[in-house]
Structure formats: C-alpha cells, structure tokens
Amino acid sequence: DVVMTQTPPSLSVAIGQSVSISCKSSQSLVYSDGKTYLHWLLQSPGRSPKRLIYQVSNLGSGVPDRFSGTGSQKDFTLKISRVEAEDLGVYYCAQTTHFPNTFGAGTKLELK
C-alpha cells in the first residue's frame, strides 16, 4: 500500500498567519495517464470532509484562493495564506492513483 506521511501532525496558528503542510508518498503518484491524483481535504469539527484541492494544484469549487497546492511525484505541499477562523480543523492528503486509495494521518490546525 502507498503510505502517505503528513507533517506536522498539528499546527497552532494566529489568524492572518500563513502555514504549510507537507505530504510525502512512499511511491510516485503519477498515474499511467500522466496525471497525479493527489488531493487535499479539510474536515472541520463535527463535519464531513471537504475537498479543497484535487490533482495537486486545482482548487475545488468555492474554495478560496488562499489555498494552494504544489508538488510532484512523491512530495506535495498545501499552503494556506492568511489563515482565517473557518480554516480550523484537520487537513488530510489523499491519493487515488493506486489501490487501495490511502490518506495521510491528518494535520490538526488550531488557533494560537
């Protein structure tokens, strides 16, 4: 199985601060069609997960452009510029290139 290693496990931030979350996979996430199926999700407290970014860098519908994703092959980063209160929760990276699809363990973003 592809292991997704997310760091840090938690982050304490002030509103307006910028933060980055890293996600490294144990195998390349480039599929045979040339696309990379690495996605970022946010699970706000008590809510279902919501996809923020798909295929490394594409913003989901309605997702503010404070969120951005970069990376390739096995090394990916989610950046949040100017954190707002609504951004708090647990962030997950997920890969759907390989079966079984796998998720990172999550990064909990909390207010300082």
The span from the CA of 16 to the CA of 81, in Å, is 8
For residue 112, the one-letter residue type is K
Residue closer to other proteins (CB basis): 18 or 68: 68
Residue closer to other proteins (CB basis): 24 or 50: 50
What is the number of alpha carbons within 13 Å of residue 45 lying toward its C-beta? 7
Which residues, other chains included, contact 5 with Cβ-Cβ below 8 Å and sequence gap of 6+?
23, 24, 25, 26, 104, 105
Residue closer to other proteins (CB basis): 30 or 106: 106
CB-CB contact of 74 with 54 (8 Å): no
> Of these, 21, 94, 97, 109, which contacts other proteins (CB under 8 A)?
94
Residue closer to other proteins (CB basis): 12 or 58: 58
Which one of the spans 11-19, 25-33, 67-75, 97-105 is the region binding other proteins (CB under 8 A)?
A: 97-105
Per-residue x/- track, 46-85, other proteins (CB under 8 A):
--xxxx--x-----xx------------------------
Name the helix (H) or strand (E) containing 19: strand 19-25
110 forms bridges with which residues in the sheet? Answer: 12
Which one of the spans 23-31, 42-50, 67-75, 76-84 is the region binding other proteins (CB under 8 A)?
A: 42-50
Question: Minimum distance between the CB of residue 31 and other proteins, rounded to whole angstroms?
Answer: 14
